[in-house]
A and B are shown apart, each in its own frame.
Chain A
Amino acid sequence: MTATTLEPTTVGKAATVEFQGLRREFGATVALDGLDLTVRPGEFLALLGPSGCGKTTALRMLAGFEHPDSGAVLVDGEDVTRVPAHRRDAGMVFQSYSLFPHLNALDNVAFGLRMRKVRTAERRSRAAELLELVGLADKGDRFPHQLSGGQQQRIALARALALRPRVLLLDEPLSALDAKVRLALREEIRRLQQELGITTLFVTHDQEEALSIADRVAVMRAGRLEQCAEPGELYGRPATAFVAEFVGTMSRIPGRLAGPDVEVLGLRLPAEGTPPTASEVDVLVRPEAVHVTADEGGDAQVIATAFLGATTRLTVRLADGTEVKADLPTHEATALGAGAAVRVSLPQRPVLVAERAA
């Protein structure tokens, strides 16, 4: 109900964010190496990548805490690169420990309004509204040390929304929380974001997290964008070997290029995308795409099984020693204990091919 009072104002202002050729070096390390990325109005975009890939630096540039050596940050087409952090109009939620310890939850949320010299009564009622929005209306008088990690992050979220920012920035806000709380809070964040329709950037190194809540996921590596796509496309049609292996589980099976096709496991499958120049290659396969059948005469062997619920993940060693992960429905996998001889095959579909790993 309270959301309705916030909704129109924010939806009306949903902003476009553009990173244009952002470059930043810290001493010898290049944090951003020419990042180009556009975030659509009202979109929930996850920045995903291993630590040190520059995703947090990009976010902090949008917040105004870091400054690019070259390139520009645009919000709604307006260059904000030189605007100081306290006038950026971008609400940020930090990894953890960012609530002011001397203020209670309500005053933490109302902090920004106090900086804007909003009248006490007005800012209190606004802050109370926001607390209700994050489901902590009854915790307004608690101090940060009296709140759980999950509650602290909800308060931080309310604080980030207090000034009705045009962009919401989330810097690994769930990484310090327990697994259960993390799941609950990430759904909460998604719900809020959709309710408010606010353009949101979410930094994470957890691919499952990124795939499950974002409209689009931007995978970064070494300061550059590898691929920006919807979760399904990212998983099913990764643009590069890096994306393929970073998002979800991938096994490498040695193969051989033959024209537009690749020979692998005695099959001849079309290679997807632009194949590498070398003819000795690896074929990248998802566990659910690998067929494993019991076969006394098979030259592959199950070496480990892991029960995952409805599916069971097998680790299979091929004749040449390569290990491949395969997911089977659990009822089919019961017959295949460690040591069982099996045959491995792939479906007749185009496969992703990468240079042979060293």
Chain B
Amino acid sequence: MTATLTGVDVAPPVTSVKGRRRVPGWLAVVPLLVFTAIAFGLPALAMLNGAFSVKDQATGASSYGTGNLTTSLHGAYLTALLGSVKLSAVSAGLGTLLGLPLAQVVVTSRFRALREAVLTASGVLANFGGVPLAFAFVATLGNAGVLTRHLGLTEKGWDLYSFWGLVIVYLYFLIPLMVLTITPALEGLRAQWREAAQNNGATAVQYWRHVALPVLLPSLLGGLVLLFGSAFAAYATAAAMVGSSVPLVTLQIADAISGNVLVGQENVALALSLDMVLVAGLVMAVYLPLQRRSARWLDA
């Protein structure tokens, strides 16, 4: 085909031989697609299939239905789902509010070393979720933690294994994540915009209110939903803080997988997983357009 098209008049024989032997480029993409179809597609299908398979307790026969999903949105499961949403929303909101000023201070700093140090540290800490983070906070603010003992926090009613305890722990990786997310946007704020605003009679406050914040808004909202998604999916941190009495959907799913619940509830775990995927999908659906708009504004 290629040979007949290109070799009609001028192409020397060498070219047509090479043209025939040339491997089409899309073949290089095939292994990736096959791999994801198996390693990602199979579990995803299993999850979908399980979530919609209802087992009849009496006969053991299974049929398709929405029973598991209904169950996953009731009682303790619903409490856990809502608990996760509330925890994620509160910590993502706080992470955004606290991350923005920190990023602004770092971006506008005259000291290059400080900038580099904070950004590198943010890169590490944003990935510092999980078990080590939980243990560091247990050592600091847990019942036998250093600060708890030395400041006598327990008598003042402090409990790390509570909602606000988890928020404080989550902020440890959410604030750095916000710093990383918002820094490019802050760097994209052009000096000319500030000067043009001043030139049009805007005070510093008016500049922030009418120019900087509106321009940053897509990035801020994008960062907010990213933080939400990150907090929502977190499991290791919560799991390692043993004794946590906060109901979370990730902990519920883990219990179900490990067989710590009634037999026959495995499929409810899959339905809960599907709930999570839907929430995470919603997060991405909000995040991507915001991200695109911000990129268009700041890179133009």
Contact, chains A and B (beta carbon distance below 8 A): yes
Which residues of A does B touch, CB under 8 Å? 63-65, 84-88, 90-92, 94-95, 97-102, 111-112, 114-116, 144-145, 156, 159-160, 162-163
In the complex, are the beta carbons of A102 and B214 less than 8 A apart?
yes
Q: A98 is contacted by which of B193, B201, B214, B296 (Cβ under 8 Å)?
A: B193
B201 and A116 form a contact (CB under 8 A)? yes
Least Cβ–Cβ distance between A62 and chain B, in angstroms: 11
For B233, the chain A residues whose CB sits under 8 A away are none
Q: Are B190 and A97 in contact (CB-based, < 8 A)?
A: yes
> What A residues does B210 contact at CB under 8 A?
111, 114-115
A162 partner residues in chain B, CB cutoff 8 A: 200
Cα-based distance from A355 to B196 in the complex (angstroms): 45
Instruction: Flag if A145 contacts B202 (CB, 8 Å).
Output: no
For residue B3, give the distance in angstroms from its CB to the closest CB of chain A.
43
CB pair B203 A159 closer than 8 Å: no
Let me know if B197 is at the binding interface, CB within 8 A. Answer: yes
Q: Among B202, B214, B215, B300, point to the contact of A86 (Cβ < 8 A).
A: B202
Closest chain A residue, CB of each to CB of B206: A115
Residues in B neighbouring A97, C-beta threshold 8 A: 190, 192, 300
**Residue of B196, B203, B298 touching A92 (CB-CB under 8 A):** B196
Q: A115 to B196, Cβ gap below 8 A?
A: no
Total contacts A-B at CB 8 Å: 79
Complex contacts, A101 vs chain B, CB 8 Å: 215, 296-298, 300
| Shortest beta-carbon contacts, A-B, top 9 | A112-B200, A101-B297, A98-B192, A85-B198, A115-B201, A98-B196, A86-B198, A92-B199, A94-B192
Looking at the complex, which one of A64, A102, A115, A145 makes contact with B200 (CB distance below 8 Å)? A115
Tell whether, in the assembled complex, residue A94 and residue B195 are in contact, meaning their CB atoms are under 8 Å apart: yes
Task: Report how far A115 CA is from B210 CA in the complex, Å.
Answer: 9
Chain A residue contacts of B298, Cβ below 8 A: 101
Closest to A165 in B: B199
Bound-state Cα–Cα, A111 to B198, Å:
11
Shortest Cβ distance from A114 into B: residue: B210
Q: Is the CB of B199 within 8 A of A85?
A: yes
Taking the closest CB of chain A, its distance from the CB of B132, in whole angstroms, is 41
Residues of A contacting B195 in the complex (Cβ-Cβ under 8 angstroms) = 63, 65, 85, 92, 94, 98
Task: Name the residue of chain B whose CB is nearest to the CB of A96.
Answer: B192
**A85 and chain B: residue at smallest CB distance:** B198
* Residue pair A160, B300 in contact (C-beta under 8 Å): no
The interface residues of chain B lying within 8 Å CB-to-CB of A90 are 199
Which of chain B's residues 281-299 have a Cβ closer than 8 Å to chain A?
Answer: 296-298
- Give the contact-size bracket for chain B: 20 to 34
Bound Cα distance from A100 to B166, whole angstroms: 40
* Chain B contact residues: helix, strand, loop or mixed: helix
Q: Are B297 and A102 in contact (CB under 8 A)?
A: yes
Contact for A100 among B193, B199, B203, B296, CB less than 8 A:
B193
By the criterion CB–CB under 8 Å, are A145 and B193 in contact? no
* B203 with A98: CB separation less than 8 A: no
Minimum CB–CB distance for B156 against chain A, Å: 46
- What distance in Å separates the Cβ of B7 from its nearest Cβ neighbour in chain A? 41
Binary per-residue interface labels of chain B (19-49) against chain A in the complex, 1 for a CB within 8 Å, 0 otherwise: 0000000000000000000000000000000
Q: Provided the pairs A159-B200, A160-B199 are in contact, do residues A100 and B206 lie with their beta carbons within 8 angstroms?
A: no
For B214, the chain A residues whose CB sits under 8 A away are 102
Shortest Cβ distance from B160 into chain A, in angstroms? 42
Complex contact B211–A145 (CB within 8 A) = no
B215: A residues at CB distance < 8 A: 100-102
CB–CB A91/B201 < 8 A: no
Q: A85-B198, A85-B199, A163-B200 are in contact. List 14 more A-B contacts (CB 8 A).
A: A65-B195, A85-B195, A87-B201, A90-B199, A94-B196, A95-B192, A97-B300, A100-B196, A115-B197, A115-B206, A145-B296, A145-B297, A159-B196, A160-B199
Given contacts A112-B201, A115-B200, contact A100 B211 (CB under 8 A): yes
Contact A163 B201 (CB under 8 A): yes
Q: Are B297 and A86 in contact (CB under 8 A)?
A: no
User: How far, in whole Å, are A163 and B197 apart by their CA atoms in the complex?
Assistant: 12
State A86–B201 Cα separation when bound (angstroms).
4
User: Which residue of A has the minimal Cβ distance to B190?
Assistant: A97
**In the bound complex, CA of A115 to CA of B198 (Å):** 10
**Given the complex, which residues of B lie within 8 Å of A114, measured CB to CB?**
210
Q: Which residue of A lies closest to B215 (CB)?
A: A102
Q: Are B198 and A65 in contact (CB under 8 A)?
A: yes
Q: How far is the CB of B271 from chain A (nearest CB, A)?
A: 42
What B residues does A99 contact at CB under 8 A? 196
Residues of B contacting A65 in the complex (Cβ-Cβ under 8 angstroms) = 195, 198
* Closest CB in chain B relative to A94 CB, distance in Å: 5
Assess whether A98 is in contact with B200, with CB atoms less than 8 Å apart.
Answer: no
In the bound assembly, the distance between CA atoms of A111 and B197 in angstroms comes to 8
As a 0/1 sequence over residues 190 to 230 of chain B, the CB contacts with chain A under 8 angstroms (1 = contact) are 10110111111111001000110011010000000000000
Nearest chain B CB to A301 CB, angstrom units = 45
Q: A100-B193, A100-B211, A101-B300 are in contact. Are A88 and B199 (CB under 8 A)?
A: yes
Residues of A within 8 A of B200 (CB): 86, 111-112, 115, 159, 162-163
How far is A144 from B296 in the complex, measured between Cα atoms in Å?
A: 10
CA distance A156 to B199 in the complex (A): 12
- Distance in Å: Cβ of B176 to nearest Cβ of chain A: 27
Give A84's nearest chain B residue, CB to CB.
Answer: B198
Q: Which residue of A lies closest to B202 (CB)?
A: A115
When distances are taken between beta carbons in the complex, the residues of chain A under 8 Å from B206 are 115
